[in-house]
Structure 1
Amino acid sequence: MAKYILKRLLYLVFVFFIVSIIMFFIYKSVPGDPARMMIDSSKQSVDPERYEQMYQAAREQLGLDKPLPVQYVSWITNMLKGDLGFSTQYRQPVSQIVGVPMGNTIMLNLVSMVLVFLITIPLGIITAVKKNSPLDNAVQVGTVVGYSLPSFVIALLFIFLFANLMPIFPISGMNAPGMTGDGMDVFLDRMYHMALPCIVMTFASLGGITRYVRAAMIDVLRQDYIRTARAKGLREKVVIYSHAFRNALIPIVTVLTGWLVSVFGGSVVIETIFLWNGIGKVLYDALMQRDFMVVLAMQMFYVIITLAGNLLMDLAYMLVDPRVKLGN
């Protein structure tokens, strides 16, 4: 197993560098001059000669005066050392900009993931066992509606219901005005502001995963070994959870791993709508301002999440199905 993990890690490192090269040159080919955008506010207050000097200095500071291959080597080397570059929008190192938002995004997504797991897996099992019952039909209608609606539509609907029609939750932001510090009151206020975005992200994910769990369970419950287990007189809970669910996990693992990766990408919309100070909102603002160093840092974060998710998927296969040989 250790040998397999080492081989996979080497492969993922190779993929990481290939993707980083592609993304770097794509963003470098996008129209727009970061150096000019960086000093654009000074254009009207200085003479043309001084402006040109400032422009050349900005190009040197950003490393734009060097050939593209040299720029890439410098960027990837610095990134591996923890230096993510310099933001033209915020006029400070990217690492100082993304630290707090990344923590906020991870917190938002982790809470949403836990809620989704706690709801979808039991719900999928129950609806599979009670197939074609009123509960199953109601859940199927709800999941189809939730699966069909884009996340931004769900967000706007929930804002209307729970912030306007019934003012239960705040519409946006992370804290109430004047609420600063690190005390318990601040933490509880942060959780209160995070409630509505979490509910939206959870609801948006319920449909697809519940339907996958239900379909996988229904397929397994039709198998001969399930009928044999019931014929032996095993309790229904043992049949469902020890025999059926264990085997249904094999296709579910693929779906859940892919969903874990997509959640971070999908949070861009939610964070922008709710003005949640996460990497999704930072990425959106950076794209609007052509702040490519911030964009590249955010995109590489998503690349790492995706590659790690693929490795976890392979390892999860081994855990749920001992017949899978990692060496193959």
Structure 2
Amino acid sequence: MAKYITKRLLYMVFVFFILSILMFGIYKMVPGDPARLLLEGSRQGMKPEVYEMQYQQARKTLGLDKPIPVQYGVWITNMLKGDFGYSSTYRKDVIDVVSEPLKNTIQLNIVAIIVVFAITIPLGIICAVKKRSAFDNTIQVFSVVGYSLPEFIIALVLICLLAVKVSAFPVSGVSTPGFDGTAFQKMLDELWHMALPTLVMVLGSVGSITRYVRAAMIESLSMDYIRTARAKGVRERVVIYSHAFRNALLPIVTIVTGWVVSVFSGSVIIENIFLWPGIGKVLFDGLMQQDFMVVLAMQMFYVIIALLGNLIMDIAYCMVDPRVKLD
């Protein structure tokens, strides 16, 4: 396995550099001048020659005075050293812009992932065991509805019901402004603000993951070795969880790993609806303001998440199924 992981890491490095070249080239083709955006608001009442001098200085500060291949070389070299460039919108280094939003996004997504797994895996197993029962049919109806509705529709409905009608949860923010309390109280306050966006992400994902778990379990429960185990008098709980679920993990791992990667990308919508100060909102604002250094840093983060997700998925195959060999 060590040899395979080494090969995959080299492959990931190759893909990372190819995608970085493509993304850098795409953003350079987008109309707009970050140097002029940096000076926006300061031109009024300024002499043309002074503005031109400051404009050229801004281009030099942002590295726009160099040829595009040189700009890419400087950008990728600095990024590998931990320097992601300078934000023309926030007037500070990109690392300072994204550090706090990145923490907020990771917190939100980890909580959503834990809740989704805690609901979907047991629910999918129960639906498979009770296939075509009233419980299974009810869950299938709700899962289709949740799977079909876009997340922004779910968000608007929940905001109306739980924030406007009932006032049970706040609509935006990470914590209550000016909140002063113990560390535990602050954590509870953050979880209270996180509840509504997390609920939207969970409702938008529970349906699809539950259906995948149910389908994998139904296929596994129909195998001959399950009938053999039952004929030998093995307890039903052991048959379901030790035999059927273990063999159903292979397709579940594929779906779940891909879903985890997509959750980080999909949180862009949720963060903008709930004004959650995460990297999704930073990415959206960066695109609107043509702050390409911030956008490129965020896009490369998503690339790394996707590449690591695929590697983890392949390693998980070996862990859940000893028959899979990684060469």
- Calculate the TM-score normalised by the size of structure 1: 0.98
Q: Give 1:26-41 correspondences, 5 Å limit.
A: 26-41=26-41
Secondary structure at the residue paired with 1:40? coil
Q: Report the Cα distance in structure 2 between the residues aligned to 1:296 and 1:251, rounded to whole angstroms.
A: 33
Query: Does the alignment pair 1:208 with 2:208?
Result: yes
Q: Report the Cα distance in structure 1 between the residues aligned to 2:110 and 2:25, rounded to whole angstroms.
A: 32
In the TM superposition, residue 182 of structure 1 has moved relative to its aligned partner by 7.3
Q: Give 1:171-250 correspondences, 5 Å limit.
A: 171-179=171-179, 183-250=183-250
Letter in 2 for 1:56: Q
Q: Give 1:67-146 correspondences, 5 Å limit.
A: 67-146=67-146
In the TM superposition, residue 181 of structure 1 has moved relative to its aligned partner by 7.9
Letter in 1 for 2:72: Y
Higher mean C-alpha deviation, range 201-210 or range 170-179:
170-179
Query: Does the alignment pair 1:25 with 2:37?
Result: no
For 1:6-31, what per-residue CA distance to the aligned partner results, in whole angstroms no more than 9, with x for missing partners? 11101101100000000000011001
For 1:244-278, what per-residue CA distance to the aligned partner results, in whole angstroms no more than 9, with x for missing partners? 10111111111001001000000000011111110
In the TM superposition, residue 171 of structure 1 has moved relative to its aligned partner by 1.1
Number of the residue aligned with 1:44: 44
Q: Report the Cα distance in structure 1 between the residues aligned to 2:185 and 2:321, rounded to whole angstroms.
A: 46
In the TM superposition, residue 89 of structure 1 has moved relative to its aligned partner by 0.3
For 1:132-162, what per-residue CA distance to the aligned partner results, in whole angstroms no more than 9, with x for missing partners? 1111011001100000011111111111111
Change (3 A) 1:85 1:180: farther
- Calculate the TM-score normalised by the size of structure 2: 0.98
Secondary structure at the residue paired with 2:290? coil
For 1:231-256, what per-residue CA distance to the aligned partner results, in whole angstroms no more than 9, with x for missing partners? 01000011101111011111111100
Q: Report the Cα distance in structure 2 between the residues aligned to 1:176 and 1:96, rounded to whole angstroms.
A: 23
In the TM superposition, residue 68 of structure 1 has moved relative to its aligned partner by 0.5
Secondary structure at the residue paired with 1:171? coil
Letter in 1 for 2:2: A
Q: Report the Cα distance in structure 2 between the residues aligned to 1:215 and 1:189, rounded to whole angstroms.
A: 38
Number of the residue aligned with 1:277: 277
Q: Report the Cα distance in structure 1 between the residues aligned to 2:39 and 2:318, rounded to whole angstroms.
A: 54
For 1:199-257, what per-residue CA distance to the aligned partner results, in whole angstroms no more than 9, with x for missing partners? 11111110110000001111111111111110010000111011110111111111001
Letter in 1 for 2:52: E
Letter in 2 for 1:281: K
In the TM superposition, residue 186 of structure 1 has moved relative to its aligned partner by 2.1
Structure 2 unmatched runs, 5+: none
Higher mean C-alpha deviation, range 47-56 or range 176-185:
176-185
Q: Report the Cα distance in structure 1 between the residues aligned to 2:207 and 2:122, rounded to whole angstroms.
A: 13
Structure 1 unmatched runs, 5+: none
Secondary structure at the residue paired with 1:200? helix
Secondary structure at the residue paired with 1:276? coil
Q: Report the Cα distance in structure 1 between the residues aligned to 2:18 and 2:171, rounded to whole angstroms.
A: 41
Secondary structure at the residue paired with 2:39? helix
Q: Percent identity over the alignment?
A: 67
Letter in 2 for 1:31: P
Letter in 2 for 1:110: I
Q: Report the Cα distance in structure 1 between the residues aligned to 2:282 and 2:184, rounded to whole angstroms.
A: 27
Q: Give 1:248-259 correspondences, 5 Å limit.
A: 248-259=248-259
Number of the residue aligned with 2:66: 66
Number of the residue aligned with 2:288: 288
Q: Report the Cα distance in structure 2 between the residues aligned to 1:97 and 1:272, rounded to whole angstroms.
A: 17
Letter in 2 for 1:168: A
Q: Cα RMSD over matched residues?
A: 1.0
